[in-house]
Structure 1
Amino acid sequence: MAAQPAALLGLEKTSLRQQAVAALRSAITSGALAPSSPLVETELSEMLQISRGTLREAMRQLQQEGLISAGARGRLYVRHLDAKEIRDIFAVRAALEALAVRELAELPDRSTVVPTLRAALDIMARAEHDLDARIEADLNFHRILCRLTGNETLMHSWQSLEGSIRMSIMFAGLEKAVGNMDVGRHSAIVDAIETGDSDEAAAAVRSHMKWAAANLVS
């Protein structure tokens, strides 16, 4: 019996860390914590009502995700991207997701994946008036594109970019970021997959990524 409380405390600690990660990630993605702003442990632990140890664990995860960077003397800051990094991120995304849609368009039975992608589009459409939900729905659509291929290396490569993708959202402000979440352009990708035209599907992805990058850095 004595071991049970310790196990429960371990679960509680994990939950607190995960909640802190989610709260900080949302604050960074939404711009509530602006790029280059310092992350002060005493202030954040008090705001989140968690221990500094739990906060450090959460920030370590966000650093691994690419949302936080270390400065002089190990001080942590919200990561700041420049225009070149934005273009580079979207160029790599275009390559990865073009590969993904090619594989999906070439499936002998695309009826196994198209309904899942349509459902993801529906979630995007319903989230238009909720910024956090809209961001997550957009990311989830692209994540699903990669996951449905069953290509673990592709999926891992995309996930390694996810933190950088989140940072790019606030690069030019909310108005431009929301413009990149247009359901119509995403629907064109699914339409091409459904027809089985792998060249058109890849072209739709590259066009979307080129437009999105230009929109953010213009």
Structure 2
Amino acid sequence: MNRVTSNSVLVGDSHLPLRDVVAAELRRLILDGSLPPGERLVEDRLAQQLGVSRNPIREAMRVLEAEGFLDVVSRRGAFVAKLSVRQADDLFHVRLALEPLGARLAAAASAEEPNTELLARAWAILGLVNDSGPEQDRDTLATLHTELHSLIFEMSRNDYLIAIAIPMVKRGQWLLRQNSQLQTPSAWSEHHGLIAAIEAGDADLAEAAARHHVLSVRNSLRPRLEPA
């Protein structure tokens, strides 16, 4: 059984509401694979490792259950969820609605006044992946992929869209980390055209590129998912 790594944060030292802090830390551990799909979560062990009492652990687990990260089975406990084909399809339906919109708004905003800092970071991520290629580990690539897609939504300058979309992007990171071949160049090639369209302020092209990318990823991932 996997254990939470020694560099986990002692969230009991935080001044934020413990339920939210613990939920954020458990979510991070799930997303980065420290708590893998199917792992049973033991309240006492997590409380000791995170430096909190059992109560905020229990409350945080209810939050993560509502978000779909945990499955709670009567008389057996809480387990890190496994994404089924149906759940992945649900996620991609939302991505198909939000990511083309985010790319269109990002390009429109760029046409008015480019966000040079965010664009530079997007190109830097693509350059880093291009230079390192297969040498990068899957966790790092998944994190960079999440940051890149988050940057696109940030470039939209639409606070409502950002608030809705960033959690979706993070959930997508979990799916990609488990199933995607991010270490292959083809997994990143479509991002170059997408960022270029946003930088050029071409809203139609950016929207089309984002939709094509989401469909391409969905088609490549679906055969690797477990049946619902």
**Same fold, TM-score > 0.5, yes or no:** yes
Matched, 1:143 2:150: yes
Which residue does the alignment assign to 1:5?
none
Matched, 1:166 2:173: yes
The amino acid across from 2:13 in the alignment is E
Report the CA distance shift for 1:43/1:178 in structure 2 as closer, same or farther (over 3 A). farther
Matched, 1:176 2:177: no
- 1:132-157 deviation per Cα after TM superposition (whole angstroms, max 9, x unaligned): 44322221221221222222221222
SS of the equivalent of 2:71 reads: strand
Larger deviation, residues 162-171 vs 207-216: 162-171
Displacement of 1:27:
3.4
Q: Is the 8 A contact 2:149 2:169 kept in 1?
A: no
**Selected match of 2:202 from 176, 197, 200:** 197
**Selected match of 2:84 from 57, 79, 82:** 82
CA distance in 2, matches of 1:37, 1:11: 23
Larger deviation, residues 90-99 vs 26-35: 26-35
Which residues of structure 2 form unaligned runs of 5+?
Answer: 1-10, 224-228
SS of the equivalent of 1:112 reads: coil
Displacement of 1:130:
4.7
Q: Is the 8 A contact 2:104 2:206 kept in 1?
A: yes
Which protein has the bigger helix share?
1
Displacement of 1:35:
1.7
**Selected match of 1:28 from 22, 27, 30:** 30
The amino acid across from 1:143 in the alignment is S
Which residue does the alignment assign to 2:74?
72
The amino acid across from 2:173 in the alignment is R
Q: Is the 8 A contact 2:146 2:170 kept in 1?
A: no
Q: What is the percent sequence identity of the aligned residues?
A: 27
Q: TM-score, normalised by structure 1?
A: 0.75
Which residue does the alignment assign to 1:95?
97
CA distance in 1, matches of 2:201, 2:105: 10
CA distance in 1, matches of 2:186, 2:60: 28
CA distance in 1, matches of 2:101, 2:83: 26
Report the CA distance shift for 1:49/1:130 in structure 2 as closer, same or farther (over 3 A). farther
Count of aligned residue pairs for this structure pair = 207
CA distance in 1, matches of 2:163, 2:206: 21
SS of the equivalent of 1:176 reads: coil
Matches within 5 A, 1:46-61: 46-61=48-63
Which residue does the alignment assign to 1:134?
141
CA distance in 2, matches of 1:16, 1:163: 21
Report the CA distance shift for 1:109/1:207 in structure 2 as closer, same or farther (over 3 A). closer
Cα RMSD (Å): 3.3
